[in-house]
Amino acid sequence: MGKIVLLIDDEELVAKTIGRLLRKEGCEVILCRNGGEALKTIAETEVDLIICDIRMPGMSGVETIKEIRGFLMREGKKPVKEILITGYAEAETMKEALELKVADYIYKPFDIRDFLKSVQKNLTE
């Protein structure tokens, strides 16, 4: 693929697993453990796709995506597609995530083929 993916997840095992999977597919992966790190990264690096966990300490994934979108808009940069991942199906969080109209919403544990299909689709559209 040769694309840059910003992966935002505070869970070590999940981050390592997804990172390894994406690197196998030819992506460069930039890992951030929280929303603050992600905002610093997005200010310094152009990425092709954002994959973000919803439930993180401090700034949630939904808040992180909103902040990133706001930054990109203020800077006059093009929007970046986002995939939200979660292991929790809380109604309020789900509603907020759906209101964001992200490119995809994936539940953990996920099927690797389905996950990669979503990544490839969103990197090529």
Query: By residue range, what is the domain housing residue 69?
Result: 1-6+9-90
Q: Is residue 14 part of a domain?
A: yes
Q: Is residue 40 part of a domain?
A: yes
Distance CA 84, CA 59 (A): 14
Q: Is residue 115 part of a domain?
A: no
Classified as helix, coil or strand, 105 is strand
Domain tally, the chain: 1
What Rg value do the Cα atoms of the chain yield, rounded?
13
Q: Is residue 2 part of a domain?
A: yes
On whether the CB atoms of residues 37 and 10 are closer than 8 A, the answer is: no
The DSSP output letter for 11 is: -
* Tens of pLDDT, residues 46-105: 999 999 999 888 999 999 999 999 999 999 999 999 999 988 767 777 778 778 889 998
pLDDT of residue 18: 95
Q: Is residue 63 part of a domain?
A: yes
Bin 2: left if φ > 0, else alpha if -120 < ψ < 50, else beta.
left
DSSP strand pairing (28-32 vs 104-107): unpaired
The torsion defined by the Cα of 93, 95, 96 and 102, in degrees rounded to 10, comes to 110
CATH number at residue 40: 3.40.50.2300
